[in-house]
Structures are given as structure tokens and as C-alpha cells.
Amino acid sequence: MIKYIGSKRRLVPVLGEILERSGARTALDVFTGTTRVAQEFKRRGAHVTTIDTATYSEILARCYIEADGDTVHSEDLTAALAELNALPGEAGYFTETFCEKARFFQPRNGARVDAIRNVLERDYRDSWLFPLLLTSLMEAADRVDSTTGVQMAYLKQWAPRANKPLELRLPELLPGTGRALRGDARQLVKSLEPVDLAYLDPPYNQHRYFTNYHIWETLVRWDAPEPYGIAQKRSDARSPETSSPFNRKRELAAALGEVVHDVKARLVMLSYNNEAWLSADELRAVLKPRGFVQTLAFDSKRYVGAQIGVHDPSGKKVGQVSHLRNLELLLVAGEREQVEHACRPFEALASTSMDAAPSS
Ligand SMILES: C[S@@+](CC[C@H](N)C(=O)[O-])C[C@H]1O[C@@H](n2cnc3c(N)ncnc32)[C@H](O)[C@@H]1O
């Protein structure tokens, strides 16, 4: 699983349990990101559809949600991974941009990414193996990067993991199938058939995922964009087409309200962060048209950048991080009896530590 800000690692067992208690057989993971939540729903037997605007998220979803672990020809996959792992490095755009002009990866690993990605484009583009192999490459690169988890900056000193050799591994596929959709949630939810449960996990500040994870966008698109700035971001990161209303404080409530209104689901779950732009009361107001709304709150650790502190480019500590923990809000909306039944195990845990949340 790639490092991803806002990823719901800790909330996953709770979300899975609520899905199961609600009896949902079909689910929608809007804003799916790493697909972590969708994977949990699939693991618990639901047919899942994912939505995200990011191309790397679509590739992850084609691998973990669409591909059926029971029917994949694992010998073909293993053989392809062995072939790619054996390729010698061949420095190209990726090495020059992300390892020489910037220092996100060691050049020897960058050269292997270049070589592997070129072969994927040449030999596997139209194969069912493509999203599986590309996911494996993204995850391999993530394991040897030199960041705190976002690609807006790299570390001044190489992270120890960056010195390890890049290694493609077999993605852990789940049995069953699902569907991966790429596009704006506001448009896509309108066209979908009803599901039992929809989970919404929108961005919660102005930092765009498109720029935070620009290297994954480029690795997937393989379009060698004109880079700019110290982090060598994609030039289209400045274009309005790659911005999201969910990253704009004044548009967020209306955009979320649109998705909540249009999504066809018996239960709607929304997770949000208490440091973000909308208060718990505002979130409840957004969900109110769906019926009864239950609010759960879980204490959780802030992302690693906040744990490390605020530093200037020379590495000197320049600021204080105000706090290291925050509250993850989870609101569940729908018919009262169903919501209360689905949330019952977590009522006592609400406002207590996520570390104590049960997993099933
Ligand atoms: C908080 S993250 C989701 C994290 C995810 N639940 C996980 O566990 O990995 C928000 C996601 O919303 C996506 N996003 C931003 N604007 C969007 C839009 N208009 N439509 C669909 N997805 C969008 C981002 O690409 C990002 O992956």
C-alpha cells in the first residue's frame, strides 16, 4: 500500500464492520485514493465500485478491486514480475527529473523505474497484466522513496529506505470483482445504479492530491510533462482542470452536498477530520437530507510530517507543531433503525482512542 495522506488505515476495521452489520452487498467508495477502504469492503464480500479523479488511483483500483484474485493466472503474473525485476536500469525522464534534478529516489532505482515502465508501455499496455504490474512498480518505488509521504518535497538527507534496491512484489489480490471509475465524483455518482452503502472520504484542505502525488500521476500517464520547481511538479498542476472544488473552502460544502444529494444508497458514510474546514454540525447539515445522522469520533495520530515538525530547507527546526493527534469524524446517515444497528459497537468508543477500536 502506498503512503497516502488522509488514507483511512485506522478507520478501516470500523468501516468494514459497519458495512457488514448493515448487511450491504453493494458499495461505492467515492474518493477511493489508495483503495484501502474499497479493499476492506471487497474482503467482506461486497461488490465495490470506486471513484477518484487520480489516474494512479484508477490503476490501484483496477488491480485490487477489478481484478479477481481467484481467476488471475498467477504463473503469468509471477513470470512477468521476474522478467521486469531482472531488467538492467536505463536512465530516462524519470531518473533525470526525480533523481537528478530532484532527489526523490536514488538514481540507480530511478533508472530501473525507467526501464521497467518503458517495457510495460511497449509490451503490456493492452494486457490484463498492465494495472497489476504498474501497481507493483508504484508500490516498489514507494518503498524506496525519500519523502515524508507527500511528493511536494524530498528529504534533505536520504531516507535509509532509499538505499535499498527497488523490488517488484506480487500484489495481494482479493477474490471477486468490482469496478474502477475515474472522474469527478459529482458527475459520476449521478449516473450510477443504486448501491446499499456509499462511503465518502473527500479531501479536507487546500492541498491537492494531484500535486501531492504528482510522481505517481506521471508514472502512470508516462507522458513526460514539463516539470517546474524544486519538487519537479507537472506543469498541468497549475491548470484549473486539475484542481478540485473539494480543495476550496468556499465550494466544499456545496460540492459535498451535491454528491450526498445525488448518490443512490441506503446508507451514506462520510469521514472527515476535525481540523478541517467543516465543523461536525456543518457536516451533519450536509448529510441531513439522507435521514437520521449518527456521529462517531475517533482519536488518531496526525500524519508523519506533523510528527517530525516544521523545518526550513536547510533542515533547521523553525516551527512548532501545535498537536500530534486529531479527531477523525465518521458520520453515518440513513434510516434511523439501520444506522443505529450498524453503529452500535462503536458508540461507546466514540471519542476514545482509535488504537482501541476493535477489528473483526
Ligand atoms: C482523503 S483522500 C481519500 C483517501 C482514501 N479513502 C484512502 O483511504 O486511501 C481524498 C481523495 O479524493 C480524490 N478527489 C479529489 N477531488 C475529487 C473529485 N472531484 N472527484 C473524485 N475524487 C476526488 C483525491 O484524488 C484523493 O484520492
pLDDT 10s digits, 122-158: 999 999 999 999 999 999 999 999 999 999 999 999 9
CA 12 to ligand 1 centroid distance, Å: 16
- The residues, ordered by sequence, that sit 6+ positions from 348 with a Cβ below 8 Å of its Cβ are none
CA 198 to ligand 1 centroid distance, Å: 14
- Does the structure show a pLDDT above 50 at 256? yes
For the CA of 4, the nearest atom of ligand 1:
9
For the CA of 245, the nearest atom of ligand 1:
19
* Model-wide pTM > 0.85: yes
| Residue-wise pLDDT tens digits, 182-237 | 999 999 999 999 999 999 999 988 889 999 999 999 999 999 999 999 999 999 99
Higher per-residue pLDDT: 50 or 308: 50
Residue 302 — pLDDT band, cuts 50, 70, 90?
A: low
CA 6 to ligand 1 centroid distance, Å: 9
For the CA of 36, the nearest atom of ligand 1:
8
Residue 288 to residue 225: CA distance in whole angstroms: 43
Task: Give residue 324's pLDDT.
Answer: 56
CA 244 to ligand 1 centroid distance, Å: 10
Q: Which residues line ligand 1 (CB under 6 A)?
A: 4, 6-8, 31-34, 36-37, 51-54, 57, 184-185, 201-203, 209, 244, 246
Inter-residue contact 342 to 22 (CB < 8 Å):
yes
**Percent of the chain scoring above 90 in pLDDT:** 79
Q: How large is the greatest C-alpha to C-alpha distance in the chain, in angstroms?
A: 60
- Concatenating the DSSP letter of every residue in 4-43 gives -TT--TTTHHHHHHHHHHHT-SEEEEET-TT-HHHHHHHH
Task: Give residue 325's pLDDT.
Answer: 67
- Concatenating the DSSP letter of every residue in 75-102 gives HHHHHHHHHHHTPPP---HHHIIIIIIS
Inter-residue contact 228 to 257 (CB < 8 Å):
no
- Taking alpha carbons only, the member of 211, 333, 178, 212 closest to residue 265 is 333
Cell of 324: 500530534
Provide Rg for the chain, Cα atoms.
Answer: 21
Nearest CA to ligand 1 atom 19: 184
Residue 315 — pLDDT band, cuts 50, 70, 90?
A: low
In the block, residue with C-alpha cell 477518484: 52
Inter-residue contact 357 to 10 (CB < 8 Å):
yes
Residue 359 — pLDDT band, cuts 50, 70, 90?
A: very low
For the CA of 33, the nearest atom of ligand 1:
27
CA 312 to ligand 1 centroid distance, Å: 29
| Residue-wise pLDDT tens digits, 73-117 | 999 999 999 999 999 999 999 999 999 999 999 999 999 999 999
Q: Given ligand 1 and candidates 42, 53, 241, which is best to mutate, with the most ligand atoms within 8 Å of its CB? A: 53
Residue 307 — pLDDT band, cuts 50, 70, 90?
A: very low
Burial (CB count <10 Å: 0-12, 13-18, 19+), residue 312: exposed
Give the side-chain half-sphere CA count within 13 A for 205: 8
| Residue-wise pLDDT tens digits, 266-285 | 999 999 987 778 999 999 99
Inter-residue contact 281 to 323 (CB < 8 Å):
no
Spell out the CATH class of 1-67+173-203+250-360: alpha beta
CA 33 to ligand 1 centroid distance, Å: 5
- Concatenating the DSSP letter of every residue in 308-356 gives H-EE-TTS-EEE--S-SEEEEEEEEEESHHHHHHHHHHHHTTTTEEGGG
Residue 57 to residue 131: CA distance in whole angstroms: 11
| Residue-wise pLDDT tens digits, 3-62 | 999 888 889 999 999 999 999 999 999 999 999 999 999 999 999 999 999 999 999 999
- For residue 257, give the 3-state DSSP assignment: helix
Inter-residue contact 33 to 4 (CB < 8 Å):
yes
- Please give the average per-residue pLDDT across 308-326, as a whole number: 55
- The residues, ordered by sequence, that sit 6+ positions from 297 with a Cβ below 8 Å of its Cβ are 274, 280, 327, 328, 329, 330, 350, 351
For the chain, helix, strand, coil in percent to 5 are 45, 15, 40
Instruction: Please state, in angstroms and as integers, the Cα–Cα distance from residue 32 to each residue in 66, 118, 320, following that order.
Output: 13, 27, 32
| Residue-wise pLDDT tens digits, 41-56 | 999 999 999 999 999 9
Residue type, position 326, single letter: N
Residue 178 to residue 221: CA distance in whole angstroms: 23
Task: Give residue 273's pLDDT.
Answer: 83
Inter-residue contact 269 to 15 (CB < 8 Å):
yes
The domain spans of the chain are: 1-67+173-203+250-360, 73-171+209-243
The mean pLDDT value of the chain amounts to 91
